[in-house]
Amino acid sequence: MSKKSFIEANRISFSYPSYEGEIPSLVLDGIDVSIEEGEFVAVLGHNGSGKSTLAKHFNAILVPTEGSVSVSGISTAEEARLFEIRQEVGMVFQNPDNQIVATIIEEDVAFALENLGVPPAEIRERVDDALRKVDMYDYRLHAPNQLSGGQKQRIAIAGIVAMRPKCVVLDEPTAMLDPKGRREVMKTVKQLNKELGITVVIITHYMDEAAMCDRVVVVDDGKIIMDSTPEKVFGNVELIKERGLDVPQVTELCHELRKEGIDIPESVLTEEECVAVLENLLKGGAQNG
Amino acid sequence: MLKDITFGQYFPGDSIIHRLDPRMKLILIIVYIVLLFVADGLFSLLIGAAMGIAFYALSKLPWKLVIKCIKPIMPIIIFTAVLNIFFVEGDPIFEWKFISVSGKGVLTAVLMCIRIICLIAGSSLLTYTTTPIALTDGLERLMKPLQKIKVPVHELSMMMTIALRFIPTLIDETQKIMAAQKARGADMESGNIIEKAKALIPILIPLFVSAFRRADELALAMECRCYHGGEGRTRMKQLKLTAKDFGAAIFVAGGFAAVILMNMFGPEVFRL
Ligand SMILES: Nc1ncnc2c1ncn2[C@@H]1O[C@H](COP(=O)(O)OP(=O)(O)O)[C@@H](O)[C@H]1O
Ligand SMILES: [Mg+2]
């Protein structure tokens, strides 16, 4: 028997229930994807391509009409083990306001644990721990509406982290935030992955965020059209643009320079790398001339 | 301006009354209301009034709050008093043409006024010194036994909590929508009542649409956090009765006993 991946989607298709007489359109169309423990995966795709629908299959909010999804070997169709799955794979959504339930921050972070019937003393400990991990411990007694968007989003993350999940799926967590909030949230998400070893799947529209990940999956029209490292995916600038997506600014710049015949390695992704390469080139150019 | 209505009832403080367990406060206020109706004479009722005054003094809240909570029901108090004075039968102490006032009528009116004032002031003190969320929590725990007869106690308290959570959010949103409609030239200040009500429609419709969208997303987020009703649910914060709660209970019990004794052995004057 082959070892199963942490999350494994096997040829899944899905269509939302439709009105009588209407032909249901496939939102997911035979997707095959597996996610290993500890990975940091970005999911890209334009609006309506089925990213959120796919994400909802990872913690049994939706079950595929065809094919199967398993989390830690448990099939998401197994209703009796629903809470086990949701505890392993937590989910954070776009609008920070619409996922905070309680009027006091620490009570909101405790919400999942209360639902799971964890003993009070242990809840307290895990809530404090989760709040420290997202760096919001000092705000534990505040009301949600006293916080900024980025802070609220970190509280939402803490509410999930308190469950001690193996994986967090974030559905465009930074889409409604200002640049400062985005930075805070991305820093927290990176910490989850690098320091706590939590598997992260992040759906995003920001290409610089995708460039931070270890793996990029591009979804288009319910199918996965690319699934590789950010270098490889963004290396294919033409295809990405054809699908109505952007590439990170750095990639775009390098691509244009390469077209002009300037030699820049394909692996350049971050601003720092780009600056270093360009500096080198300019120095080299100065010496030659 | 809109923000005032949100938590206008609660006055933060650190007095002993503020720190009492919400469950104890709820029980004691019920006992206190019963006490007010058990008292059948002026002297018994004055004991009840004295207890109310003692509670207010202990809460360290400004006295003008009593006036604030009585004001809205002033018409009712006056109306009851007038009815009692003129329509209670008894030996007349004052007669003029067809109007006759009996001693009993005056006494009933006075007792009724004291009762209503104490009742309103007492229950207002509860909301003045307890956050809405603590009240909800206390109510849920007190009513837990009702779950056996299928009262959805947990669900009601969850709804209450979510309502409290979203009031500030929706108020913010209302203000944004109002500003947006004004920017499009909506006129909300002028006109008669009907015109003003009509001007509310372009505010209420987007507000409702957004509230439904929020509800949808919140439900999803709750599902992701394993919410499945009140069954098997624990709470992080446990309410614990402490010495001061028992102290308060003894105080109210003592007051109750005093009222009953006064009813039985007190002077026979000013009785109904
Ligand atoms: N609850 C729903 N009911 C019916 N159709 C839906 C629902 N949610 C999404 N869809 C449809 O499914 C498609 C994919 O949506 P979604 O997964 O949200 O895409 P993305 O997150 O990539 O923008 C869209 O065409 C959308 O209209
Ligand atoms: Mg989406």
Nearest-neighbour CA in chain A from B233: distance (Å) = 5
What is the arithmetic mean of pLDDT over A110-129?
96
Residue B106 has pLDDT above 80, yes or no: yes
Looking at residue A286, what is its pLDDT?
Answer: 59
Strands (DSSP E) found in B62-163 = 92-96, 99-102
**pLDDT band at B6; cut points 50, 70, 90:** very low
Q: Which range among A41-55, A148-162, B63-77 shows the weakest confidence by mean pLDDT?
A: B63-77
Residue A289 has pLDDT above 60, yes or no: no
Strand, helix or coil at A150? Answer: helix
Give me the percent of chain A exceeding a pLDDT of 90. Answer: 70
Do B175 and B2 form a contact (C-beta atoms < 8 A)? yes
Nearest-neighbour CA in chain B from A163: distance (Å) = 8
Ligand 1 near A70 CB (within 6 A): no
What CA–CA distances, in Å, run from B6 to A108, A238, B105, B229?
20, 54, 42, 27
Please state whether the predicted TM-score (pTM) of the whole model is above 0.90: no
pLDDT tens digit string along B215-269? 999 999 999 999 998 888 999 988 899 999 999 999 999 999 999 999 998 888 8
Judged by CB atoms closer than 8 Å, whether chains meet at A93 and B217 is answered as yes
Q: Which chain A residue has its CA at the smallest distance from B223's CA?
A: A61
DSSP string, A39-57: -EEEEE--TTSSHHHHHHH
Q: Which residues of A touch B237 (CB under 8 A)?
A: 107, 120
pLDDT tens digit string along B168-223? 899 999 999 999 988 988 877 778 888 888 888 989 999 999 999 999 999 999 99
Task: For a ligand 1 pocket test, name from A29, A31, A52 the mutation site with the most ligand atoms within 8 angstroms of its C-beta.
Answer: A52
Residue keyed to tokens 């004291």: B114
Averaged pLDDT of chain B: 89
Looking at residue A259, what is its pLDDT?
Answer: 85
Q: Which residues of B touch A115 (CB under 8 A)?
A: 225-228, 233
Ligand lying nearest the CA atom of residue A172: 2
Judged by CB atoms closer than 8 Å, whether chains meet at A107 and B237 is answered as yes
What is the token pair recorded at A114? 């209360």
Domains and CATH numbers, chain A: 7-247 (3.40.50.300), 248-289 (no CATH)
> How remote is the CA of residue A12 from the centroid of ligand 1, in Å?
16
Host H or E run for residue A35: strand A28-35
For chains A and B, CB pairs below 8 A equal 91
Residue keyed to tokens 């709050």: B65
Looking at residue B243, what is its pLDDT?
Answer: 94
Ligand lying nearest the CA atom of residue B220: 1
Q: Which range among A78-82, A219-223, B12-16, B266-270 shows the weakest confidence by mean pLDDT?
A: B266-270
Least Cα distance to A91 among A58, A117, A69, A50 occurs for A58
Strand, helix or coil at B94? Answer: strand
DSSP string, B7-18: HTT-----SHHH
Do B242 and B21 form a contact (C-beta atoms < 8 A)? yes
Atom of ligand 1 nearest to the CA of A222: 14
**Dihedral pair phi/psi, residue A227, rounded to 5°:** -155, 100
Ligand lying nearest the CA atom of residue A93: 2
What is the arithmetic mean of pLDDT over B138-144?
92
Looking at residue B191, what is its pLDDT?
Answer: 80
Q: Is the dihedral of CA B245, B248, B252, B253 positive or negative?
A: positive
Interface test with B, best of A58, A91, A101 (most B CBs within 10 A): A101
- Strand A7-14 and strand A66-71: the pairing is antiparallel
Decide if A96 touches B, using CB distance below 8 A. no
Judged by CB atoms closer than 8 Å, whether chains meet at B236 and A99 is answered as no
Look at ligand 1, atom 26, and give the residue with the nearest C-alpha: A48
What is the token pair recorded at B213? 């969208």
Residue A20's Cβ-count burial label (10 Å; 0-12, 13-18, 19+) is exposed
Task: For a ligand 1 pocket test, name from A53, A62, A94, A171 the mutation site with the most ligand atoms within 8 angstroms of its C-beta.
Answer: A53
What is the arithmetic mean of pLDDT over A60-65?
94
Look at ligand 1, atom 9, and give the residue with the nearest C-alpha: A53
Looking at residue A3, what is its pLDDT?
Answer: 61
**Dihedral pair phi/psi, residue A78, rounded to 5°:** -80, 95
Contacts with A4 (C-beta within 8 Å, 6 or more apart), sequence order: A70, A73
Interface test with A, best of B217, B226, B240 (most A CBs within 10 A): B226
Residues B132, B4: Cα–Cα separation, whole Å: 15
Looking at residue A61, what is its pLDDT?
Answer: 95
**Dihedral pair phi/psi, residue A9, rounded to 5°:** -105, 125
Ligand 1 near A204 CB (within 6 A): no
Q: Which residues of A touch B214 (CB under 8 A)?
A: 95, 97-98
Residues B139, B143: Cα–Cα separation, whole Å: 6
Q: Which range among A163-172, B5-14, B131-140 shows the weakest confidence by mean pLDDT?
A: B5-14
Ligand 1 near A16 CB (within 6 A): yes
Look at ligand 1, atom 10, and give the residue with the nearest C-alpha: A16
Looking at residue A2, what is its pLDDT?
Answer: 52
Nearest-neighbour CA in chain A from B230: distance (Å) = 8
Judged by CB atoms closer than 8 Å, whether chains meet at B236 and A106 is answered as yes
Residue keyed to tokens 């910490």: A191
Q: Which chain B residue has its CA at the smallest distance from A106's CA?
A: B236
Decide if A117 touches B, using CB distance below 8 A. yes
In chain B, where are the structural domains located? 2-143+239-265, 151-224
Do B214 and A97 form a contact (C-beta atoms < 8 A)? yes
Look at ligand 1, atom 1, and give the residue with the nearest C-alpha: A16
Look at ligand 1, atom 27, and give the residue with the nearest C-alpha: A48
